[in-house]
Amino acid sequence: MPLDQIEANVMLQKKLCHHAPFYVLGPLVTDIAAGYDHVACAIGGALAGKAGADFLCYVTPAEHLCLPSVEDVREGVVVTKIAAHAADIARGHKGAMERDREMSMARKRLDWEAQMKLAIDPEKARRYRAQSPPAEDDVCTMCGKYCAIKQVREYFGD
């Protein structure tokens, strides 16, 4: 379903069904994402959730290609949780907004442990951080000593 049709579809469904809870699979926003259907559906799911869908069903990266592995199911669930969280933020859900604010503050403090605890998938976040550790503990691997947050803190003080 094209992105620009998702909101109207959700609104129509809710109206026709007298605002009964609406459960969506995706919707799949493009058909060329074989191997990444979980991402294409999460995009549609976030928009559907923002528009009023009540439940999002996960889709795996193996969708339409093969039977999913346990890891495929896990990946699909996590990506769908991200979509649902994004929809909750867009709908003004205080808990979702607070969690994001806490993560932003942890990033500002370069508090890696807090970031891991707040991540939707702490296990994967820890694994990535551990597989490519920076030379200095208080920066990310990508920016290293050029970390903008660290440089601003050093220049202006905490």
Q: What is the pLDDT of residues 51-108, one digit of tens each?
A: 999 999 999 999 989 999 999 999 999 999 999 999 999 999 999 999 999 999 998 8
Over residues 142-157, the mean pLDDT reads 81
Measured distance CA(66)–CA(54) in Å, rounded: 28
Q: What is the pLDDT of residues 92-133, one digit of tens each?
A: 999 999 999 999 999 888 898 999 999 999 999 999 988 988
Domain residue ranges in the chain: 1-92
